[in-house]
């Protein structure tokens, strides 16, 4: 902990005052679209979805940048980072007055989102000026800068009436630029930064700053902040629009009413910090979540007419929340949410004094994402239900779940802690990892697991490991099936009454790849945190959401496109499962059998794509679930389809697999690997090179799997493509499982080189046959070229995974010459596992980019040829990279 010697009250007041004022202006800019967006919507004729996206876009960048701005503040200090952030945001705000198209408004909105990142800069900066006994109050006062939202909703309508929305943007941008100059001139560097400079100590590395993010309590902080802050931002953005639609008030009245909420949800944050210092944040969190549950229930209850058959005839009455009671309840809700915001951030500098930027950045990012996601979901739920209060009902469920989880967590830890241990409980036990006393472990936890011990392995280990493997494989197969199900569903949507453009359909095919790849990064760290048994159970059960959602959504042609976008993103839950499944199985097997076990898990799991593309076209032709499955969709030719079965068919298998995982799988007590231990791979050059190569192999496999059915249907509409497309993923999965020996014999680098050469030839074949697609036999040439591509991607998947351990086995002795042979081997194995997980996450983005490239190419040129030429050029780059680094004579790391 740095020293505060020499820091005066004047210095503290200066830092707190300047930061709070700057944050207030930033927050006013961040929520500017809540007012001017209404006028922009009218000028451009935007739909509800487009309006919701415009309002939410600044919240997205403001959330995502918090993590990185926090890290930069830790390294360079708040004075310089805060000033630069405000200048950049001011420029983006002024840019609004120059643009006229919806696309450019979104671009400017991305820049305006930087204003939201100011919060974590201020938290990291202000916390360094105070000791732990006063940080809650100080950060509460700083957080009261949320009142900037009230400033915008109260003042901006009057400025807009007088000068138009351009005037609002110009005034807000000017104020922010002036504040940036003032902050840079009058603020001082924080005492920790000064102390570090005097001692010549380097700033913490990224690995050191991100190390605490593996702790479960950090993610609990994030959950609570998702509601208290994300919900606050969402309500602040949504309320003016809501009041104008429900109570038919003008923009100025709606703005003032929304300002009342923003005022209470901001100003009282300072009081929440004081209460947290005095009574403890645990109690304050209970007040916040408990009263919010009651108030949101009142707000979510819709206007309803009742008729009761009484003794003397019908008794009719109505319930309705009028305008002023609504405003009063909203004001009270803001008060309790402000207490919760202060309580959450009371603990970060106390528990993580050296990681305030990284931990606070993550918590702030998750909270800010709530402000991005929730307004969009509000609009979608309103479109789906037609009930105005549905937004508050959604928040009621969210806060209720948070309160229940917090209570169960506290009770669980109290039951597991006895005697003197109670005295060691932290002030906020629900933010901790629910520690269990020694010896109190689940009966499904393997406390002694030594697979490298031959006697142990033969007598006990192999049987247990294989049981977990054979329960993992079907769960992963189902995950791949759900992940890629849109590749078939989109090919049939137009025939059952959904009038989506080819670009929209390719978006639906691509989005599961985007979300699945992103989730893989996080899923890689879940097994050591939750345990393999629990996480496999939870991740498999999560597949029920998209499976059932698709089943219901496709039955109604009026279902909004946005709902399909959400379901496509949820299908990414299946894509994320690969990383956690591979990490879990790797812990069970000895080195001699690990490769085969992982090959079986991955290869047979990949078969889920082929199983899905074979099974779905069959089950949608019959009402296999009877009346429970819903009515069929009538086709123009007079036939029928049960498209809902594309989702429903997986539900019973997912349920069985979930139960089997919970009953039959095991946790390993010592299966731990910290983030900091694995983060070293980000400094390894070959980690990034292998990301490129594995994207060329696995990224191509999963991307072609996602886009092949729709591409075939669009290019060859006369062919019933769904009869054949499952063969592609089947060939790719089987070739991965069956060609690993080739790399073992000839070298992974050499096999990868020739694989990419073959893929170039195969892509050229696809381009050639698309060019003559009207001629007889063109389809079969096109199809054969794609089968060759799928086969080669499978070979490349195996060869690139074979390369990674070989590369690190050579590199670690060179990079860490001080390690002995055994330590060097362990380090190489640890880094190889981490690189395999990370490259699999990056490569999975191919499931997004390849279908999206098809759609964009067709949209701009009328054909997918441009995208295919892009793939061919990428493979040529991979050939050069593989040759130079791994396969040529005298390569730096021959393998």
User: What is the model's pLDDT at position 132?
Assistant: 66
CB 691 within 8 A of CB 839: yes
Could you give the CA distance from residue 136 to residue 146 in angstroms, rounded to a whole number? 16
Position 758 pLDDT exceeds 90: yes
Residue bearing the bigger pLDDT, 376 or 205: 376
Specify the DSSP element, H or E, that contains 50.
helix 48-76
User: What is the model's pLDDT at position 441?
Assistant: 42
- pLDDT (tens digit per residue) in 141-156: 887 777 777 678 778 8
Residue bearing the bigger pLDDT, 817 or 34: 817
User: What is the model's pLDDT at position 785?
Assistant: 92
For the chain, what's the residue count? 895
Q: Sign of dihedral through CA atoms 412, 415, 420, 422?
A: positive
Position 32 pLDDT exceeds 80: yes
Residue bearing the bigger pLDDT, 753 or 554: 753
Kindly calculate the radius of gyration of the chain based on its CA atoms and give it in whole angstroms: 29
Could you give the CA distance from residue 677 to residue 681 in angstroms, rounded to a whole number? 9
Specify the DSSP element, H or E, that contains 317.
strand 313-319
Position 759 pLDDT exceeds 90: yes
Alpha-helix residue ranges (DSSP H) falling in 449-560: 454-456, 462-483, 486-493, 502-523, 526-530, 532-541, 544-553
DSSP-derived letter for residue 531 is -
HSE at residue 706, side-chain half, CA atoms within 13 A, is 38
- End-to-end CA, the chain: 47
DSSP 587-612: HHS-HHHHHHHHHHHHHHHHHHHHHH
DSSP-derived letter for residue 498 is -
Position 4 pLDDT exceeds 70: no
Pairing of strands 640-641, 633-634: antiparallel
User: What is the model's pLDDT at position 428?
Assistant: 41
Position 757 pLDDT exceeds 90: yes
Position 761 pLDDT exceeds 90: yes
CB 66 within 8 A of CB 190: no
Nearest to 183 by CA among 240, 242, 112, 126: 126
User: What is the model's pLDDT at position 772?
Assistant: 87
Percent of the chain whose predicted confidence (pLDDT) is above 70:
83
Pairing of strands 304-310, 313-319: antiparallel
Could you give the CA distance from residue 882 to residue 749 in angstroms, rounded to a whole number? 7
Could you give the CA distance from residue 63 to residue 642 in angstroms, rounded to a whole number? 41
Q: In the structure, what pLDDT confidence band is assigned to residue 768 with cuts at 50, 70 and 90? A: very high
Position 719 pLDDT exceeds 90: no
Could you give the CA distance from residue 155 to residue 170 in angstroms, rounded to a whole number? 14
Pairing of strands 640-641, 313-319: unpaired
- pLDDT (tens digit per residue) in 62-116: 777 776 787 788 778 888 988 998 999 999 999 888 888 888 888 888 889 888 8
Could you give the CA distance from residue 597 to residue 866 in angstroms, rounded to a whole number? 40
Percent of the chain whose predicted confidence (pLDDT) is above 90:
11
- pLDDT (tens digit per residue) in 291-349: 888 888 888 878 777 666 666 777 665 667 778 888 888 888 988 888 888 777 776 66
Position 656 pLDDT exceeds 90: yes
Residue bearing the bigger pLDDT, 293 or 361: 293
Mean pLDDT of the chain: 79
Could you give the CA distance from residue 365 to residue 550 in angstroms, rounded to a whole number? 29
Could you give the CA distance from residue 388 to residue 372 in angstroms, rounded to a whole number? 19
Residue bearing the bigger pLDDT, 434 or 650: 650
Helix axes 251-267, 269-279, angle to 10 degrees: 20
CB 81 within 8 A of CB 58: no
DSSP-derived letter for residue 319 is E
CB 160 within 8 A of CB 168: yes
Could you give the CA distance from residue 796 to residue 774 in angstroms, rounded to a whole number? 33
Position 526 pLDDT exceeds 70: yes
Query: Please, which residues bridge with residue 668 across strands?
Result: 446
- pLDDT (tens digit per residue) in 827-884: 776 677 778 777 877 887 777 788 778 878 887 888 889 999 999 999 999 999 999 9
Tally Cβ neighbours within 10 Å of residue 204: 18
Give the three-class secondary structure for 395. helix
- pLDDT (tens digit per residue) in 391-445: 888 888 888 877 776 776 665 555 554 444 444 444 444 334 433 333 334 456 7
> For 867-893, what is the HEC assignment?
HHHHHHHHHHHHHHHHHHHHHCCCCCC
Position 266 pLDDT exceeds 50: yes
Pairing of strands 633-634, 445-446: unpaired
Strands (E), 627-767: 633-634, 640-641, 667-668
Q: What is the mean pLDDT of residues 726-734?
A: 80
Angle at 687 between CA 356 and CA 691, to 5 degrees: 105
Nearest to 830 by CA among 723, 684, 724: 684
If you count DSSP H runs as helices and E runs as strands, how many of each does the chain have, helices first? 39, 6
- pLDDT (tens digit per residue) in 156-191: 888 887 888 888 889 989 999 999 999 999 988 888
Contacts of 729 (CB under 8 A, 6+ apart): 484, 606, 607, 609, 610, 613, 701, 705, 790
CB 33 within 8 A of CB 61: no
User: What is the model's pLDDT at position 431?
Assistant: 38
């Amino acid at each position: 902990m740095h020293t505060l010697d020499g820091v005066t009250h004047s210095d503290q007041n200066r830092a707190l005052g300047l930061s709070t004022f700057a944050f207030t202006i930033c927050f006013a800019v961040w929520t500017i679209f809540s007012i001017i967006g209404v006028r922009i919507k009218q000028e451009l004729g935007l739909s509800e979805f487009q309006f919701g996206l415009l309002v939410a876009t600044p919240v997205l960048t403001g959330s995502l940048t918090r993590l990185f701005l926090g890290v930069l503040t830790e390294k360079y200090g708040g004075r310089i980072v805060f000033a630069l952030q405000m200048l950049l945001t001011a420029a983006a705000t002024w840019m609004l007055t120059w643009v006229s198209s919806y696309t450019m408004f979104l671009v400017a909105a991305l820049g305006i989102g930087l204003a939201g990142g100011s919060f974590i800069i201020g938290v990291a900066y202000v916390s360094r000026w105070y000791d732990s006994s006063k940080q809650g109050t100080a950060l509460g006062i700083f957080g009261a800068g949320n009142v900037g939202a009230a400033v915008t909703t109260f003042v901006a309508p009057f400025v807009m009436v007088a000068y138009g929305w351009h005037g609002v943007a110009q005034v807000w941008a000017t104020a922010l630029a002036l504040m940036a100059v003032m902050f840079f001139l009058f603020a001082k560097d924080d005492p920790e930064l000064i102390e570090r400079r005097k001692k010549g100590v380097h700033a913490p590395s990224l690995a050191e700053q991100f190390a605490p993010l593996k702790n479960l309590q950090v993610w609990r902080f994030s959950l609570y902040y998702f509601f208290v802050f994300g919900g606050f931002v969402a309500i602040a953005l949504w309320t003016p629009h809501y009041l104008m639609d429900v109570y038919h008030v003008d923009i100025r009245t709606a703005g003032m009413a929304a300002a009342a909420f923003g005022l209470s949800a901001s100003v009282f944050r300072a009081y929440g910090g004081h209460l947290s210092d005095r009574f403890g944040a645990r109690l304050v969190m209970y007040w916040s979540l408990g009263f919010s549950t009651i108030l949101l229930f009142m707000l979510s209850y819709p206007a309803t007419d009742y008729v009761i058959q009484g003794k003397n005839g019908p008794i009719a009455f109505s319930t309705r929340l009028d305008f002023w009671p609504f405003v009063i309840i909203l004001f009270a809700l803001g008060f309790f949410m402000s207490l919760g915001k202060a309580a959450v951030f009371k603990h970060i500098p106390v528990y993580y004094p050296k990681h305030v930027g990284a931990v606070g950045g993550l918590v702030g990012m998750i909270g800010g994402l709530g402000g991005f996601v929730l307004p969009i979901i509000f609009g979608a739920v309103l479109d789906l239900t037609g009930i105005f209060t549905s937004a508050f009902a959604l928040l009621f469920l969210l806060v209720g779940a948070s309160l229940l989880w917090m209570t169960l967590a506290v009770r669980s830890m109290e039951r597991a802690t006895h005697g003197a241990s109670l005295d060691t409980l932290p002030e906020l036990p629900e933010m901790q990892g629910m520690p269990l006393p020694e010896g109190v472990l689940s009966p499904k936890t393997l406390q002694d697991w030594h697979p490298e011990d031959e006697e142990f392995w033969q007598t006990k280990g192999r049987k247990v490991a294989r049981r977990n493997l054979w329960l993992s494989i079907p769960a992963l197969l189902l995950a791949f099936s759900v992940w890629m199900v849109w590749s078939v569903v989109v090919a049939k949507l137009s025939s059952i009454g959904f009038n989506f453009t080819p670009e929209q359909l390719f978006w639906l095919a691509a989005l599961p790849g985007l979300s699945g790849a992103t989730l893989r990064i996080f899923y890689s760290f879940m097994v050591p945190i939750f345990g393999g048994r629990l996480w496999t159970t939870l991740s498999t059960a999560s597949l029920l959401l998209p499976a059932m959602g698709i089943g219901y959504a496709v039955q109604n042609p009026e279902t909004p496109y946005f709902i399909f976008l959400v379901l496509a993103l949820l299908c990414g839950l299946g894509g994320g499962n690969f990383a956690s499944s591979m990490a879990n199985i790797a812990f069970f097997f000895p080195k001699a059998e690990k490769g085969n076990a992982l090959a079986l898990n991955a290869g047979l799991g990949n078969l889920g794509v082929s199983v899905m593309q074979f099974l779905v076209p069959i089950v949608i032709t019959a009402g296999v679930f009877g009346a429970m499955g819903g009515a069929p969709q009538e086709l123009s030719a007079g036939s029928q389809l049960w498209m809902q079965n594309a989702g429903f068919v997986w539900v019973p298998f997912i349920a069985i697999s979930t139960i089997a995982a919970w009953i039959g799988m095991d946790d390993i007590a010592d299966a731990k690997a910290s983030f900091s231990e694995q983060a070293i791979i980000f400094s390894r050059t070959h980690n990034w090179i292998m990301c490129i190569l594995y994207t060329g192999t696995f990224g191509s496999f999963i991307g072609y799997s996602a886009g092949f059915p729709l591409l075939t249907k669009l290019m060859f509409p006369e062919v019933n493509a769904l009869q054949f497309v499952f063969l592609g993923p089947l060939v790719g999965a089987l070739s991965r499982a069956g060609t690993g020996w080739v790399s073992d014999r000839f070298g992974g680098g050499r096999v990868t080189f020739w694989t990419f050469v073959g893929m170039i030839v195969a892509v050229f074949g696809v381009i050639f046959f698309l060019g003559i697609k009207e001629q007889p036999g063109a389809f079969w040439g096109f199809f054969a070229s794609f089968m060759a591509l799928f086969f080669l991607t499978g070979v490349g998947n195996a060869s690139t995974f074979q390369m990674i351990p070989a590369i690190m086995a050579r590199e670690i002795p060179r990079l860490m010459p001080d390690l002995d042979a055994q330590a060097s081997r362990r380090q190489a194995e640890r880094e190889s596992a981490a690189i395999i997980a990370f490259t699999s996450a990056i490569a999975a983005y191919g499931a997004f980019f390849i279908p999206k490239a098809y759609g964009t190419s067709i949209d701009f040129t009328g054909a997918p040829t441009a995208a295919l030429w892009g793939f061919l050029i990428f493979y040529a780059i991979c050939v050069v990279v593989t040759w130079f680094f791994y396969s040529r004579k005298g390569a730096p790391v021959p393998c």
